[in-house]
Amino acid sequence: MKSLLLFLLCLLPVQLFAESDAKSSELRVLSYNVWYGFTKQPERKKKLLEYVRSLKPDVVSLQELNSYTEEKLAQDARAWGHPHSALLKTGGFPTGITSRFPIEEVSRTLEGYHHGLLSCKTGGLRVYAVHLHPGHWQIRHREVDLLTRELAKRNPAEKILLAGDFNTFSPRDREQYEKTPDIVPFFRRLDQRWKSNRNLREDKLDYTHLEKIEKAGFIDLVAVKRSRFLGTFPTKNRPGEDNGPSRRLDYFYANRSLASSCKSAVCLVNGDTSYLSDHYPVLAVFSLGSSNNTSESK
């Protein structure tokens, strides 16, 4: 009996190591537009931080970090267990990236982008925090053209993820929008309300922004993995406003090197997220091999 017990105890650390190794090979990435950096409805922030922590993300891409500083983002990152963070800028509508892993090769590009473009390497990925122009199809095309030219410089073997609020329409959702009678009339109203807006192209939704990204070799992970359409905007926390029908504005686009390892990609539409922001978050889970540089920083 004693020898059997000793044998089992010798096996236990091996089993625990195997479980730990399996867990470390899974990478969870969250993208979230948090709506004006909590300058509107600041009481939301505590619950949103708790919700993000509950998801146990390894990497987080954030949009609309209005009034944020590097330290303010670092403080939020620590609330969900991330010792590393990078902020695009301190004015306007910044994006940010936080991570369990060291953040390297940070690039901040402001010229040519309405909100700017933040990218870095972390957790074995090169992550781009994307936030395209909110109201003009032509400006979005200029931004996408800049982005795809940047992506063309990258080694196709590198694992690349675009994560954020693209403010435009996926060709993968065309069938859904064609069944949504108020979507074009809504954008007519929106473009009349904001005279500088031109969301509609010849009175139609423009799918060609994301078609360009797909032609560049990137895959719409949520569209590939979903069983049904779910929109990411609007939520229920701006009642009484004319925010239009449900639509998908928040995306994960991965190059082929990364997309093949995607286990799941979902829009998190539930009772909690309906009131934490005006966008729903999206979560992607990847199964990455041990060859990736994903060792956690102490």
- All structural domains of the chain, each given as residue ranges with its CATH number in brackets, are 26-287 (3.60.10.10)
Contacts 24+ apart (CB under 8 A), 190-197: 190/135, 190/244, 191/135, 194/135, 196/135, 196/136, 197/135, 197/136
Q: What is the mean pLDDT of residues 71-76?
A: 98
pLDDT in tens, 17-68: 333 344 558 999 999 999 999 999 999 999 999 999 999 999 999 999 999 9
3-state secondary structure of 190: helix
This prediction's pTM = 0.90
- Which of the four pLDDT bands, split at 50, 70 and 90, describes residue 184? very high
Kindly tell me if the per-residue pLDDT of 170 is higher than 80: yes
pLDDT value of position 180: 97
- Which of the four pLDDT bands, split at 50, 70 and 90, describes residue 103? very high
Task: List the structure tokens of 260.
Answer: 């093949």
Of 270, 260, 169, nearest to 219 (Cα)? 260
Contact 80, 52 (CB under 8 A): yes
pLDDT value of position 89: 98
